[in-house]
Structure formats: structure tokens, C-alpha cells
Amino acid sequence: MLKTTQKVAQAVDIKIQGQSGNPVKIEIRQTTTVFDLKSSLEPILNATFKNQILKFGGRELVDTEKLMSIGVSDDSIIDFEEKQQQFFVKDISGKSHVHKMRASEKVYALKQQINQYAHIDPKEQRLILGNKQIKDEDTLYSSGLTGECTVMLVLRMEGGSFIDASGVMSMQTIDFSDDAPAYRNVKRGLSIEGRCKNQLCPASGHMCICSFGFEEFNLLTSKAKCPLCKQDIDPVKPGFSNCFFNIQAVKTNGEKLWTHWLESRDKYQTYDESKVGSINYRELKAMAMKKDDVIGGNLTCSICLIELMRTDPETDQRTVPDEIRILDCQHAFHKSCITQWTSNHNICPNCRKPVNTDANAEEAQILQNPVGRLVHCDE
């Protein structure tokens, strides 16, 4: 015989009236406390209970009160208000911003606020919480965004990502050719490649090259232009020729890539998208330095007086006896030599400028694989 229970509970239908829109009708027991009512309203109103204000008869209700004790019955209307809370956004430069919003507001509304200071169209923004992109149509509450966590802002680039910069040791080397189109000229130093979108330009739809010489370029924030029509292109990848170069990147999950200074000889070196693939970044910087700027071109470690790079007179190939570090002042040393030096002195042994030891420690943690060696990349 099936067991049955004769127990029943008294319930009523009440209406929750927000500051706008139609009231929400819910069934609730009269013995329910205000706290329990707020908890049941969380998924319905997309507002955490601690940010809910419930009023009945013009009076704000106390969490411990029971609905029956305050006169709530069938068809009673309880007014609902939601308090603002703080949400944190870390922009593409790593700076944190505070947004005061209601958890029931849409993610798109947050993007509109970001646009006010970052000047980035909401359509070009991607907001990452953990390792997941949150959707425009979701509320901040349903996205899992609370006042205790930070959402990351990245840009929505062509294809949704850039080349995978960790493939630096697999760069392709391209010989110079007089038959190259006018939008594929390469100068010494750093170049940025991207597709021209101007349908009236001869470079339309093609990967064109914009030269930046010897400076830093942030692929997420810096501007590059087609060399022919001078209109903006979306940067896709860096390239290098006859220089020392360096790549620094931060993935959306926080993982860092930081290469030592690498050498590019008198050819053009860049990534092969078909081999390295693509990935999303929070930050992606490329920079180039003149070879003559590195201690005047005299590649000798002034601490041990041994050559930093040795050239075989028969093959003209360079070898690297030890890892090399180039300081911010652009003086170069063997890594083992400068590490021992900076353990006792926080200045460059050549020019006496201060050495950023914190940056050195961070770099030491990041550089854990062969990508971080100063080598000739087309060997």
C-alpha cells in the first residue's frame, strides 16, 4: 500500500512590483520569512538577496519577519527595489575600473559604460569571466558576475583572435623580392601585418605591411594603416627585419609569454598563421631595437669580457654560448653574469642606471622554455 500524507500548507499568490514593468506573480507560503522570499526571488529578478529592498504598505520589510505577521495575503503587492553594487572591469592595459550597477542589468549595459571611458564600441568588446565569455543579452547576475570578482576586457578582432605568439621559434623567413606588391614593402625593424578593408584600394583583402621601425607596438590598442590608402587595418601579426626584437603577451587566462631579445637578420621574419594558429590575448606587444643600439654594436659582456655571440668565420653563423639579457638601458650581458651582479648591485655596471629587479624576477618566472633565448631565428 502506498503511503500518503495528510499534511498541507497554506499558500497565497502575491505580486512583486518592480520599479518598472509588469508585476511578477508568485506562490508563497504565509509562514515564509522575508529572507526566504528574497532568496526565492534571486533567480526570478536576477538580484542577490542582500541587494533587494522589499516594501509593503510603504514600509521596508525586515529579513526576519514572516509574511503572515505583516498582513500579506492573496493578491498583496510587495514593492521591490534593487540596490546598486560595485562590479570590477580590468581593461586591456591592466587597469581596473569600478562600475556601480544593478545585478539585474544586462551585460550590454556594462559594455556601454565601458565605452564611455575606453572609447571601444560595445560590438568590439569581449568580456571574459574566468575562461568564459559572457553574453550581451544575459544579466550580470545570470552571468555569474558578483561584486567579488573581476571581468576581463579584450577586443573582438578579426577572427576573434591574434596569431599564437608562442610560436616565435617557428617563424618563417622570407627573402626580399622586387616582384612584391607595393603594399608589401619591408623596412628595418618592426612591421605590422593586417588586411586592408578598403574596397577601392589595390591592397583590399590582402595582407599589407605597415612599418614602425624601432618602437613598441601594442596589437590590441595601437593603430596601423594601409601603406597605400592610409586607412586603418586590423593588426594580425608582427614581422621583423635586421634588428633585435622582443614579444610580450598576456593571454585572457592570465598566462604570460615574455621572450628574451631575439635576432632577425637581413631578411623578413614573421609568423605563419597556418602553422601557429590563433589565440585570444589581453595584451600583445612587439618591439624592435637597432642592432647598433646594443652597447654600440660591440656584443661583448662587460662583466666577463667574453663575446655574447660568436660568429663562425667560415659559415657566418652565430652561436649563443649563454642566455643574454638586455636591460632597459639597452646594455647587454650574459644572463648568468648580470644575475650575479644584480644580487649585490641594483644598477647597470656600464651606465649606473637603476635596474628594475622586480621586473627581472617576474621575467625569470616566465622564461621557462627555449623560446626565451637570443638566437638567430632562421637557423
Confidence bin at 295 (pLDDT 50/70/90): very low
Q: What is the enclosing helix (H) or strand (E) of 24? A: strand 24-29
Q: Give the domains, in start order, of the chain with CATH numbers.
A: 13-82 (3.10.20.90), 85-155 (3.10.20.90), 159-293 (no CATH), 298-358 (3.30.40.10)
pLDDT tens digits, one per residue of 215-259:
889 888 888 999 999 999 988 899 999 888 888 888 777 777 777
Residue of higher predicted confidence among 39 and 94: 39
Partners of 11 in beta bridges: 29
C-alpha cell at 375: 638566437
pLDDT at residue 378 is higher than 50: no
Amino acid at 78: I
Q: Is the confidence at residue 358, as pLDDT, over 80? A: no
- Count of helix runs (H) and strand runs (E) in the chain: 5, 27
Please name which of 242, 248, 170 lies closest in space to residue 216, comparing C-alpha atoms: 248
pLDDT digits (tens, 9 = 90+) for 116-174: 988 888 887 888 887 678 889 999 998 888 777 889 887 754 434 567 777 766 688 99
The CB-based long-range contact list for 43-48 (8 Å cut-off, 24+ gap) reads 44/16, 45/16, 45/18, 45/80, 45/82, 45/104, 46/103, 46/104, 46/139, 46/140, 46/141, 46/142, 47/82, 47/102, 47/103, 47/104, 47/141, 48/85, 48/103, 48/141, 48/146
Q: What pLDDT is stored for residue 377 in this prediction?
A: 38
Average pLDDT over residues 68-85: 92
Q: Is the pLDDT of residue 296 over 50?
A: no
Q: What is the pTM of this model?
A: 0.46
> What's the CA gap between 162 and 273, in Å, rounded?
9
Please give the pLDDT value at position 372.
Answer: 36
Contact 190, 243 (CB under 8 A): yes
Q: What does the pLDDT read at residue 246? A: 82
DSSP element (H, E) containing 249 = strand 243-251
Torsion from C-alpha of 224, 153, 168, 290, nearest 10 degrees: 50
Rounded to whole angstroms, the Cα distance separating 154 from 150 reads: 13
Give every CB contact of residue 379 below 8 A, 6+ residues apart in sequence. 317
* 181/94: higher pLDDT: 181
Asked if 69 and 41 touch (Cβ cutoff 8 Å), the reply is no
182-214 confidence digits (pLDDT tens):
999 999 999 999 989 888 999 988 999 999 998
Which among 172, 379, 376, 187 has a CA at the least distance from the CA of 264?
376
